[in-house]
Amino acid sequence: MSDNSIISQAKLNNDTSMVDAALTYAQRWGWPVLPLHSIGLAGSCTCGRADCGSPGKHPRTPRGLKDATRDVITIRNWWRAFPNANIGITTGAASGFFVLDVDGEEGEKSLAELEAKHGGLPETVTSITGGGGRHLFFRWPGRAIPNKVGLLPGLDARGDGGYIVAPPSNHISGERYAWRVFLSPDEATLAVAPLWLLDLLCSD
């Protein structure tokens, strides 16, 4: 059995190395990945900019999101050059999912208000962000889903032309992104988003 086959069949968990996780995302689920800057030993972004506005979250490659790939050799070379690089996964049609980013208590309050009005969201693949929020993954619906920052207080959306930071990437808080128990891609399926959420995301 080849090394690539071993990686593709290994169970993904929150202790998986960066390169193995990146390869698993690309090989098993066909999600294009790219290396991101990470948080260094000094607790700052590895880009070296003291005023970095997105520590540990922006691409390390020259073309950014356009460099995202499923190619095993490219991925191995990236993480050979940057062993501790955080992992970005493209969202939208390229990966087959979009993400609702629920940021902390403010985001949870906004989501609760939406669910009280429209109905609850289905259980789906979910990760916990390093900042204590949640990424809810939904099946791409076959039409463009825009990226929206500030959809509601504490709620953002990552769709076509966007990306998310994936487990086990590190965060400026000192915590790591992690798959929620029983809701990792190994253990759950991407839910179909309700129409009310799609309408909200696609409204002007």
- pLDDT tens-digit series, residues 29-41: 999 999 999 999 8
Segment 170-182 shows an average pLDDT of: 94
Q: What are phi and psi of 6, to 5 degrees?
A: -60, -45
State yes or no: pLDDT of 1 exceeds 50.
no
pLDDT value of residue 116: 97
pLDDT digits (tens, 9 = 90+) for 11-20: 566 668 999 9
pLDDT of the residue at 13: 65
In this predicted model, what pLDDT tens digit does every residue of 73-124 receive, in sequence order? 999 999 999 999 999 999 999 999 999 999 999 999 999 999 999 999 999 9
The pTM for the full model equals 0.92
Residue 4 pLDDT exceeds 80: no
Q: Is the pLDDT higher at 9 or at 204?
A: 204
CA pair distance 129, 188, nearest whole angstrom: 18
- Please give the structure tokens belonging to residue 134: 């949640």
Please give the Cα distance from 62 to 116 (Å, whole number). Answer: 44
Q: Which residues contact 99 (CB under 8 A, 6 or more apart)?
A: 91, 135, 136, 137, 138, 157, 158, 159, 164
